[in-house]
Structure 1
Amino acid sequence: MQSQPEPSRIFDRTLLARRRRRFAGRVSEHDFLLQRVADDLAERLAIVRRTLPLAANIGAHHGLLSERIRGLAGVKRVIDLDPVAALLARSPADLRVVADEEALPFGDETLDLAVSALSLQLVNDLPGTLIQIRRALRPDGLLLASVLGGTTLHELRAAWLAAEAEVTGGASPRVAPFADVRDMGALLQRAGFALPVVDSETVTVTYSDPLSLMREIKAMGASNMLIARRKTPVTRSLLLRAAEIYIERYAQSDGRVPATFEILTLTAWAPDESQPKPLRPGSASARLAEALGVPERKLDE
């Protein structure tokens, strides 16, 4: 029998770092999703009417996001933080720090901006990490981050579950459990952020076959790192059956297979007295009916 993992530990972070280190030299060949997210976060930051001179890129990978945001919203300096030194070595950031996202080295109220692209969904203590980020931000400082959402790779998850149930009579966790929009909004509020907003975008990528998708995930250093995963090697028959089921269920008319990535984008502010506050219920000075130009009618008792 396999021992049950601690509830607070979902991911084997040591294994994750080892895999990302192994593929660090080829990271730019498989960063299409990171590029898309970095472009989106840069567009969002470009419309922020604040001056945010000191930024930290948390879980920076090879510094792609840092390149995009420098100069936007008055950003003058960017600190890249990542637990994998081999990835940071490829970053062009002004300052680079080897540290884990779960143990941030920033002092209280030292940052104007915290950004993160496709890293925070793999920390074990996301509430704790968000609290650390909020504390590191100066009042009215901004958090702008993207994480993978709950429908990410649902096709691959379903194919593996069906194949294992058929071949081995059981199932092992193989695709990470990611949060949904409501979960992330609640976590931002719990961490003490003000004005939290979370939105979702679905990105669908197609591959020639399921094995090509699995190879890409491996090259991203993102293959199964769940603590509860089955530790025995995957058999050839199980792998091929999972691929067959994937094709049977999801193949398109041209034979290619889709892979879904849900991107959740988080925007939130460190609290500050200058920020707008919700009005007390019943304190409105104008009637909604007047603003809409319609007659006002009371609801039946």
Structure 2
Amino acid sequence: MKIPDPRTRPNLTDRDSLLRQRARAQAQGMVDLFHQIAADEIEDRLIEVNRSFTRIAIVTGFPDLWQARFPGARIVADDAVLELEPGAHDLVIHAMALHWADDPVGQIAQCRRALMPDGLFMGVAFGNQTLQELRGALAQAEAEVTGGLAPRILPMGEIRDLGGLLQRGGLALPVADLLSQRASYRDILHLAHDLRAMGEGNAMAARLRRPTSRAVFARAGAIMAEHHADRDDPSRVAVTFDLVFLTGWAPAENQQKPLRPGSAKTSLADALNQFRKNDE
């Protein structure tokens, strides 16, 4: 499979800014809650697979955190070109970095190439409903105060679109599922502080390069307080974080394969009629 040349694509992400933010977060005491939730979920899913994986690679921007959760795994950075050896791994995990990729299909395709036949790919990234409340509040506030809009929150993929990337990346038996979490903060500034401490600040290439006026943040904070108050404590604001989990397998001869369209031996109508007779 040919992987697109990253030099020919427009950049969504300012990679240098993203790396600085990640390094600052890890040096100053990272807020790693969602990484820990993601790692817990992946471990639970691996238990359900009921297979031992001995040659694991993890693609991530937070190596220390994921190395601690998967001792012995090979950790590689989520660069445009992944340092993965073809066919060397029985499990590749793309951990909390795919939402920053300029070419997510290319990332998955490279992970697929690094898998042995019937090897497992698992990915986890933030989904499109993440920070929807903050996104709307900032857009409304900026439009009211300045009359314009600037890119402030990374656009993230819907679960259906992210699931489609698995097949485009060459993986079989694709599955995508969603874990939605609500988080509560004192105010919009507390939320912004936590995002920086997660290494998830605004690192978009098209972001505004000058400071935003206090009036915009003040208005956005008022909108958040009015429309997105925490149900359990109305003095706080609540936002959504969606974690999308992706699973697919490197194709192999002995794998289960879906039936060809039209190859079923019993029609759906006959099956439903039989079900009704059994229920009578």
Q: In the alignment, what sits opposite 1:33? A: 34
Q: What is the total number of aligned residue pairs between the two structures?
A: 267
Question: Which digits, 9 at most, give the CA deviation of each residue in 1:158-198, with x for residues without a partner?
Answer: 11101110111101010100001111121111111000100
Q: In the alignment, what sits opposite 1:293? A: 274
Question: Which digits, 9 at most, give the CA deviation of each residue in 1:114-146, with x for residues without a partner?
Answer: 112211111111111111110011111101111
2:171 to 173, 181, 193: 193
Q: In the alignment, what sits opposite 1:68? A: 69
1:138 to 116, 120, 144: 116
Q: Which amino acid aligns with 1:260?
A: T
Q: In the alignment, what sits opposite 1:211? A: 189
CA distance in 2, matches of 1:20, 1:238: 26
Q: Which amino acid aligns with 2:98?
A: L
Q: In the alignment, what sits opposite 1:95? A: none
Scaled by the length of structure 1, the TM-score of the pair is: 0.83
Q: In the alignment, what sits opposite 2:214? A: 236
Q: In the alignment, what sits opposite 1:175? A: 153
Instruction: Tell me if 1:80 matches 2:75.
Output: yes
SS of corresponding position for 1:175: coil
| Contact kept? 1:42, 1:68, Cα under 8 Å | no
| Contact kept? 2:76, 2:84, Cα under 8 Å | no
Structure 1 residue ranges without an equivalent (≥5): 1-5, 71-76, 83-99, 297-301
CA distance in 1, matches of 2:272, 2:79: 48
Identity among equivalent positions (%) equals: 39
Deviation at 1:218? Answer: 1.2
Deviation at 1:252? Answer: 3.0
SS of corresponding position for 1:109: coil
| Contact kept? 2:14, 2:203, Cα under 8 Å | yes
CA distance in 2, matches of 1:68, 1:138: 23
| Contact kept? 1:115, 1:144, Cα under 8 Å | yes
Q: In the alignment, what sits opposite 2:94? A: 116
Q: Which amino acid aligns with 1:80?
A: I
CA distance in 1, matches of 2:200, 2:224: 19
| Contact kept? 1:131, 1:191, Cα under 8 Å | yes
Equivalent residues in 2 for 1:147-162, closer than 5 Å: 147-162=125-140
Q: In the alignment, what sits opposite 1:270? A: 250
Q: In the alignment, what sits opposite 1:250? A: 228
| Contact kept? 1:59, 1:101, Cα under 8 Å | no
CA distance in 2, matches of 1:120, 1:286: 41
Instruction: Tell me if 1:280 matches 2:260.
Output: yes
The 3 A distance-change label for structure 1 pair 159 and 242 is same
Deviation at 1:291? Answer: 8.4
RMSD, matched Cα? 2.0
Question: Which digits, 9 at most, give the CA deviation of each residue in 1:89-138, with x for residues without a partner?
Answer: xxxxxxxxxxx432111221111111122111111111111111100111
| Contact kept? 2:25, 2:198, Cα under 8 Å | yes
Structure 2 residue ranges without an equivalent (≥5): 1-7
Deviation at 1:272? Answer: 0.6
| Contact kept? 2:184, 2:230, Cα under 8 Å | no
SS of corresponding position for 1:42: helix
- Greater relative contact order: 1 or 2 (C-alpha under 8 angstroms, separation 6 or more)? 2
